[in-house]
Amino acid sequence: MPAPDALLALVERFQHNRDHYHRPDYNETQVRREFIAPFFISLGWDVENRQGLAPRYQEVIHEASVRVGGAVQSPDYCFRVGAERKFFVEAKKPAVNIRAGVLERQIAAADREIDRLVYALYGLTAGEIALVEGAA
């Protein structure tokens, strides 16, 4: 199945103006309005609720509240089929390097897991752990 013409036009426009879109002053709202919403509309999603449905029946919810790891997050888009959430989209402006810090976060997570395993292996109490970590 070939890509919809509207989608191809979005890709062409982005490629043609790439330098402009990667400037720091091109913001997230602009990328959402000029590219992300039109992208999903070209795929058949009712991003703008043109059907006029009540919120509980809308295909796309903007800034939906979602609990992730005990914290409430609000991704830019929540895509649903019926009442069932299918996927979320968090928009970032093109100038944002979403990979920045990924390795550092992975290393920190591995370090925490190693610490946890060692503490469990030696049966350390919370007080002993605090002492080892210098928090006491």
Stretch 7-17: mean pLDDT: 94
In-domain check, residue 95: no
Which domain, by its residues, includes 81? 5-89
d(CA 126, CA 111): 18
In-domain check, residue 121: yes
Mean pLDDT, rounded, of the chain = 88
- Beta carbons of 26 and 94 less than 8 angstroms apart: yes
In-domain check, residue 97: no
- Residue-wise pLDDT tens digits, 29-65: 999 999 999 999 999 999 999 999 998 899 999 998 8
Both 79 and 111 in one domain: the answer is: no
- Residue-wise pLDDT tens digits, 79-94: 999 889 999 999 999 9
User: What does residue 110 show for φ and ψ, rounded to 5 degrees?
Assistant: -65, -40
Q: What's the alpha-carbon Rg for the chain, to the nearest Å?
A: 22
pTM: 0.68
Both 45 and 80 in one domain: the answer is: yes
Both 128 and 66 in one domain: the answer is: no
Helix (H, G, I), strand (E, B) or coil at 101: coil
